[in-house]
Amino acid sequence: MEVWQAFTIQSLTEPDLQPLNAEMYDELFQTVHFCLTKLKDDDLLLDHLDLLLETERLYAVINGLALNGILQPHRLSPQLMRSVLQMHLESITKTDMPSS
């Protein structure tokens, strides 16, 4: 994540890197969308949810956890990050997600 964040920051001032940076973010977004679509197809996602909105929200949660994990590792342990992510997934699914 540190390398990814450093690359992202560098791409802000180097236009040649911007297409690759955009591609990396798009691939993560598409991965999150695929996972949520799979949950929906398997009838595990709550029925009333907007798939695109939930993709944006989960994408933001993942990015926020990653960034905060880099900037404040003393405050946000890997276990706490997993717990936050699990709680979020449990809030949008019909059944409890398996614990890690």
Q: For the segment 45-86, what is each residue's pLDDT rounded down to a tens digit?
A: 999 999 999 999 999 999 999 999 988 999 999 999 999 999
pLDDT band at 99 (very low <50, low <70, confident <90, very high): low
What's the pLDDT score for residue 8?
87
Torsion of CA 18, 24, 26, 30, to 10 degrees: 170
Instruction: Report the alpha-carbon distance of residue 36 to residue 29 in Å, rounded.
Output: 11
Check: pTM over 0.85? Answer yes or no: no
Whether the per-residue pLDDT at 96 is higher than 70: the answer is no
Instruction: Report the alpha-carbon distance of residue 81 to residue 28 in Å, rounded.
Output: 18
